[in-house]
Amino acid sequence: MKLRTNLIQTILQWNERVFFYTKLKAFYRKHLVNDNLTIVDVGSNKGQSIDFFLSLTQVQNLL
């Protein structure tokens, strides 16, 4: 059961990385032109949104 769960999780992560995050990064790179950004993460999971926004630009305030 654990092997199956890990396999499904790996496939989903790969799918998100290839298809979803590529489009999302393009959108935010186009629309995030402000140098003084504040990002608020509500902390409901593992911090993926923080990692995502830090990979795009320098964040001035991280809450």
Nearest-angstrom CA–CA distance, 16 and 22 = 8
Same-domain status, 37 and 22: no
Residues 27 and 48 in one domain: no
- Distance of alpha carbon 40 from alpha carbon 5, whole angstroms: 30
User: Same domain, yes or no, for 40 and 52?
Assistant: yes
> Has this prediction a pTM greater than 0.85?
no
Domain identity same for 37 and 27: no
End-to-end CA distance of the chain: 37
User: 15: number of CA atoms within 13 Å, CB side?
Assistant: 6
Cα–Cα distance between 36 and 6 in angstroms, integer?
39
Q: Domain containing 39: what range?
A: 33-63
Domains held by the chain: number: 2
The tens-digit pLDDT sequence of the chain (63 residues) is 899 999 999 999 898 888 888 888 888 888 877 767 777 878 777 777 788 878 877 777 777
